[in-house]
Amino acid sequence: ETGVTQTPRHLVMGMTNKKSLKCEQHLGHNAMYWYKQSAKKPLELMFVYNFKEQTENNSVPSRFSPECPNSSHLFLHLHTLQPEDSALYLCASSPQREEYEQYFGPGTRLTVT
Amino acid sequence: GQNIDQPTEMTATEGAIVQINCTYQTSGFNGLFWYQQHAGEAPTFLSYNVLDGLEEKGRFSSFLSRSKGYSYLLLKELQMKDSASYLCAVSGLNTGFQKLVFGTGTRLLVSP
């Protein structure tokens, strides 16, 4: 058990749909992250939140909209996605100290049809 | 920018020792992480190196040479459960410790 949960675990959506991914961490961390993991590509950082404030947007298209209502919850709102957005979306959290690792959730496997 | 290179796939035998290499180029180096990821599961932390040298943790050890932009993960007494992908990740001094850049991962297959 990692302490970071994500729902749903699997999602299939059409290009015109709107859906949201949810992440919750039970570790008392102040930083949360969204990553994208595509087949045969490196894990790619999308967004970073510290104390509910977005501090990093790694040039992510606006069809991905993050939301962090508190330090324990993180959402990724999806709309008008493209088939190339199909990937594993991983959430992570960490203490806000550089010597600490990031703890990952199990991910949401997204398929855009 | 930052670039991380590691072999795509390696094979080894149960009980053996395997070394997974990682080379990196960064505009300022902060630290290097190794993660293990089993198929369909979350990456889990293995080690963190910020200074040159070897960090040992049970069957796993990680080495860093900042001057050479080089790290390796050493796995001893391999077990079947060690079959997984091993991800090397670097944080850059100029981009901040939270912005990890990952390699594509090395898929390790352990056979009986």
Closest chain A C-alpha to B9 CA, distance in angstroms: 11
Specify the 3-state DSSP secondary structure of B82. helix
Burial class (CB in 10 A: 0-12, 13-18, 19+), A95: middle
Query: CA of A53: how far to CAs of A57, A69, B80, B94, B111, in Å?
Result: 11, 9, 42, 20, 46
Q: Which residues does chain B have within 8 Å of residue A101's beta carbon, measured at their own beta carbons?
A: 33, 35, 45, 48
Give B90-104 pLDDT, tens digit per residue: 988 777 778 889 999
Average pLDDT along chain B: 93
Please give the pLDDT value at position B93.
Answer: 72
pLDDT of B16 > 70? The answer is yes
Cα separation, B14 vs A112, whole angstroms: 39
Are the Cβ atoms of A31 and B45 closer than 8 angstroms?
no
Give B41-89 pLDDT, tens digit per residue: 999 999 999 999 999 999 999 999 999 999 999 999 999 999 999 999 9
Nearest CA in chain B to A96: B98
Cα separation, B6 vs B19, whole angstroms: 11
Q: Which residues does chain A have within 8 Å of residue B38's beta carbon, measured at their own beta carbons?
A: none
> B33 at the A interface (CB within 8 A)?
yes
For strand B9-13 and strand A31-37, is the pairing parallel, antiparallel, or unpaired? Answer: unpaired
Average pLDDT over residues B1-6: 85
Residue ranges of chain A with per-residue pLDDT less than 70: 1-2
Are the Cβ atoms of B43 and A43 closer than 8 angstroms?
yes
Please give the pLDDT value at position B1.
Answer: 63
Q: Which residues does chain A have within 8 Å of residue B101's beta carbon, measured at their own beta carbons?
A: 42, 45
> B97 at the A interface (CB within 8 A)?
yes
Whether residue A107 contacts residue A89, with contact meaning beta carbons closer than 8 Å, is answered with yes
Are the Cβ atoms of B43 and A33 closer than 8 angstroms?
no
Are the Cβ atoms of A105 and B42 closer than 8 angstroms?
yes
